[in-house]
Chains A and B, each alone.
Chain A
């Protein structure tokens, strides 16, 4: 029997080296490098990424940028460049590139500051949702049993609140502040990543490397954050990118209803509310189109980016078209 094994043994593996083929060394690539390469090939995703970066930059530099074009988002232009004699907004012109709103304020600079609001709320709410969702999902999935039951029920309860109505109630009670807006939005959506993470963790904890970690004497907390969490990064990243547009839309809807950012601060949803409430959109199409486009393109970009990320991080070769 010993002869059998030895004769079949053949050429031993080179100690610890990657297989060398005819002198050329084949370098292995980390999963991160592979994903990045895949993303780079996805043109749609790249364009979306570019647009997202553009919006973020505009949001950050809204103030200096608006000063650069010599406009202010708050100062109404009562002159003939801002409002027509009958008080109707002026369309795109050399003075106001994108026209003015019902108060004669410059739309372009208001859009820039609106980007600020959308980005702040979108990113902050998403960050909170992810943070809370991951922690709750990790604990629920890892410990299972009663802990899981309780946390899952809790997530169910959270999902049973009607979003807009509850936001109305909070606003009626506590007024409108940016932090309340962010809090309300985050409260309603954190259970989504929570559920996702819980499902992933339930599967991951059965893997052998978790058992190996236990056999080394690793504590539960360590296993959760050092072993399981790295395996969650990919799906969480994709989900997070797809959550951002949801939160931006939520914020714009709240602003539209008058619940979000207060006047005279600019927010895309609020601009649209002004347009619709005053009925002016009927005669001043720019008042409707530009904020609407800003919203649409930003959300679209994030959605496409999220899809691209998902394809890059988890390629399925027989995936037919983008779904």
Chain B
């Protein structure tokens, strides 16, 4: 078991290493980045200064080594072209919003999708099954930003402006430390937006897995033994169905921590995604690349956790 964990961790390190090489490559691909950093008021002297500061007067290998060194040892992701602020500070200031958004959305979609999936699977072909399937299909076919726009239009605009019901606030993020209630209120719509599409796919997955599981022989045995239907479905059926869901959840959260850009933009939340977006429009490469590294980091961590969890749950995986 320990051997497996070690193997898995090494793999994760290798992956991150390759990602860092790719990021490094993007930074340098297609030309000299120094002029950009130098800015609008660039003199040859200043340019030379910038080059020196950026370590560009060394060989490519030395540069990479320096980059890797500052990354691993100092945890330094570089400095913004535009504001000269450290990328670390930019990202960490965006982390609360992104984390609140991602984790909250995960809670929402789990609470929604699993019951829907179970309800559909326990009465196949019924009205509720058909409704659930339609919901799943529509949800899968919509991009997140469209969901957000529709929600904003209906729940914010129509309600607030036309009906005068100020239930939902306009854009903005309120840190939980400042005002928990407002934090919550401001996040409701973003949570639902982000959760909608994923809820649809999880509902589908739950339904499919539950259908398979409920068709297994041991479920038939449980029923034949006289156990209540509720017990059969929840105690026995759900347990096996949960494994693929849990593993998928881990991966999705990992991906989500790097991908809440759209929702942040729509609702004006100052998270990592928003910072990346702003940086991109200014051509501020270090910030964007920094977010890529952080995003990849979360994804790799999530994958490792999921794999280990899976190995704990299923001994066959460990020994293969």
Known: A245-B141, A272-B146, A321-B133. A162 touches B161 (CB 8 A): no
A-B contact pairs, 9 of them (CB 8 A): A160-B19, A161-B295, A165-B261, A166-B295, A169-B288, A169-B292, A257-B261, A257-B277, A303-B141
**Is A164 part of the binding interface, using a Cβ–Cβ cutoff of 8 Å?**
yes
Interface size class of B (residues with CB under 8 A): 35 or more
Q: Is B255 an interface residue (CB 8 A)?
A: yes
| Interface SS, B side | helix
Residue count of chain A within 8 Å CB distance of chain B: 46
- A256 and B295 CA atoms in complex are apart in Å by 21
Interchain Cβ contacts within 8 Å, total number: 153
Chain A residues within 8 Å of B204, by CB = 323
- Whether B137 contacts A300 by the Cβ 8 Å rule is yes
How far does the alpha carbon of A172 sit from the alpha carbon of B283 in the complex, in Å? 5
Asked if A29 is an interface residue, CB under 8 A from chain B, the answer is: no
Q: Are B149 and A303 in contact (CB under 8 A)?
A: no
- A168 interface contact, C-beta 8 A: yes
Other A-B contacts than A165-B259, A276-B149, A320-B125, 16 sampled, CB-CB below 8 A, are A156-B303, A160-B303, A161-B295, A162-B292, A162-B295, A164-B273, A165-B258, A168-B277, A252-B143, A257-B277, A276-B152, A285-B153, A296-B138, A303-B141, A321-B124, A321-B130
Contact of A173 among B124, B152, B285 (CB under 8 A): B285
Q: In the complex, what distance in Å separates the CA atom of A243 from the CA atom of B233?
A: 33
How many Å lie between the Cα of A171 and that of B276 in the bound state? 12
Complex interface: chain B residues within 8 A of A172 (CB):
279-280, 283-285, 288
Contact, CB under 8 Å: A304 / B149: no
Assess whether B143 is in contact with A269, with CB atoms less than 8 Å apart: yes
Q: Does B29 contact A (CB under 8 A)?
A: yes
| CB atoms of B296 and A320 under 8 A apart | no
CB atoms of A174 and B30 under 8 A apart: yes
Find B141's partner among A164, A269, A288, A299 (CB 8 Å cutoff).
A299
Neighbouring A residues of B145 by C-beta, 8 Å? 252-253, 256, 269, 272, 276
- Distance in angstroms between the alpha carbons of A249 and B280 in the assembled complex: 21
Interface presence of B232 (CB below 8 A): no
B15 at the A interface (CB under 8 A): yes
